[in-house]
Structure 1
Amino acid sequence: MSILIRDAVEGDVEGIARVHVQGWRESYRDFLRPEALAGLSVEERMQMWQGAFAQPDPRAKLLVAQTDDGGIVGFVRGGPIREGAEQLGTEAEIFAIYLLDKVKRRGIGLRLMRGVLDHLGRHGFRSVGLWVLKDNLSARRFYEALGGQSGAEQSFDLRGQMVVEVAYRFDLTPGMDRAAPMMDPRPLR
């Protein structure tokens, strides 16, 4: 199976929403109660993602990972820091990144992250942050391997359960050579 990383289009909304829901269920099954995960809705996520296309921001980037048969198996979205996320202490933010378990540990997450970080760097952002569940050690190792530095923590109610998130910061050095390694247009084999 080869995987193509490309810009998302409005026709991808349902595929992105399905990955978002299944990605939550797969990634958070060890951290969240089953009833919280069962309550996730593809339709609800479709409405959320349609909003991203309704009011596009050229500084934001939404990439998808697509299989040979056209199925969406992952995505990432990043852009200017959102109101209320200032605690990250960065100019830009990774809003979401999800991959289905069946395609993890194949370099796809790396390609998605590099693609969005490259885009943000080209738009003049010098720092990017994200939040990750503190207990999600595999995701934290992934961000650290990409050069992310852990920082502030915050607690909040997530679908009826108190959780703790850790902030990660990525510095985008001006003039950094991101071109070749950041976004490889060739499908992954």
Structure 2
Amino acid sequence: MTADVSARLAWPDDASSMARVQLAAWRDMYADLLSPDVLDSLDADDFAERWTAALTKPQDARMRVLVALERADVRGFAMVHPSFDPDADQVADGEVGEFVVDPAHRREGHGSRLLQAAMDTLAADRFTRVRWWIASTDDALREFVTSSGWAADGAHRELQDEAGNTVKQVRLHTTLPS
């Protein structure tokens, strides 16, 4: 017997579940980088409010959020949109802006379904190339992405939060079939 799994466009009603998944993933991913006080201060209601706004009033018509489901439970989500990098072609270059799978449900196929849905969505929006900024220390995600045909393009950046914590990222890219 197989589980009832799928991926679809996110609905505003998914925002609370997405916030829960995002908090679990951030607490897992940033446990060594951020203090427990900072991680404990993250508010699910605040995240849900932001996701509701993004789902109901996206800043670009080609900004889409997809969810990976097991039955009716959100197990992950991805946000795709035009690449806003200074060297991007706004017509040709799309981006995976967020890609989160619940740590308790990784390696169950949700990431693969979500990535395929993201690529299909970007192709439907007529992007021909896709970029993805990944934390330089996230070896598991980088391995998953490169095994799917992505490669580093040499770009890197550092992001800093209000507390001065820094996250280094590398940019990967792929070409969508025409």
TM value normalised by structure 2: 0.85
Q: Superposed, which structure 2 residues align to 1:143-162 within 5 Å?
A: 143-150=145-152, 151-158=154-161, 160=163, 161-162=165-166
Match of 1:21 in 2: 23
Match of 1:64 among 54, 63, 67: 67
Q: How many residues end up aligned between the 2 structures?
A: 171
Give distance in 1, aligned partners of 2:173 and 2:51.
25
Highest relative contact order (Cα 8 Å, sep 6+), 1 or 2? Answer: 1
Match of 2:46 in 1: 44
User: Which one-letter code corresponds to 1:167 in the other structure?
Assistant: R
Q: Structure 1 residues 62, 103: closer, same or farther in 2, change over 3 A?
A: same
Q: Structure 1 residues 168, 134: closer, same or farther in 2, change over 3 A?
A: same
Identical-residue share of aligned pairs (%): 26
Q: Structure 1 residues 15, 64: closer, same or farther in 2, change over 3 A?
A: same
Any gaps of 5 or more consecutive residues in structure 2? none
Match of 1:164 in 2: 168
Whether the aligned pair in 1 keeps the contact of 2:12 and 2:56 (CA below 8 Å) is: no
TM-superposed CA distance for 1:74, in Å, is 0.8
Match of 1:11 in 2: 13
User: Which one-letter code corresponds to 1:162 in the other structure?
Assistant: T
Any gaps of 5 or more consecutive residues in structure 1? 175-189
Deviations 1:152-184 (A, max 9, x none): 11122135312211111121131xxxxxxxxxx
Give distance in 2, aligned partners of 1:171 and 1:37.
36
Give distance in 1, aligned partners of 2:162 and 2:101.
21
Deviations 1:51-85 (A, max 9, x none): 212324542321112222x2212111101123xx3
Whether the aligned pair in 1 keeps the contact of 2:55 and 2:65 (CA below 8 Å) is: no
Match of 1:35 in 2: 37
